[in-house]
Amino acid sequence: MRVRTTAVRQGKKTDDGFLSSLDSQIIRHQRAISVVTGVLAVLGVGAIVLGLSRVSPLLKVLSPF
């Protein structure tokens, strides 16, 4: 049994100039984006640990309150 597939070319839905500009902005600010993402990740993990320390008896030692 052979299955044949064909590729269908879709029309342009976005402006290539916009995507190119967006890509260059991301590349230009890649280091700052990485730093902000890392800070948000650390804050998120801290919030999770703080939340768990309020409800889990085993993690009560981590609670600053």
Alpha-carbon gap, residue 56 to 60, rounded angstroms: 6
Domain boundaries of the chain, sorted by first residue: 30-65
pLDDT digits (tens, 9 = 90+) for 41-65: 999 999 988 888 777 777 666 666 5
> In this predicted structure, what is the pLDDT of residue 36?
97
Model-level pTM? 0.55
Indicate if the pLDDT at residue 9 is higher than 80.
no
Instruction: Measure CA 64 to chain center.
Output: 29
- Chain position carrying tokens 């402006």: 15
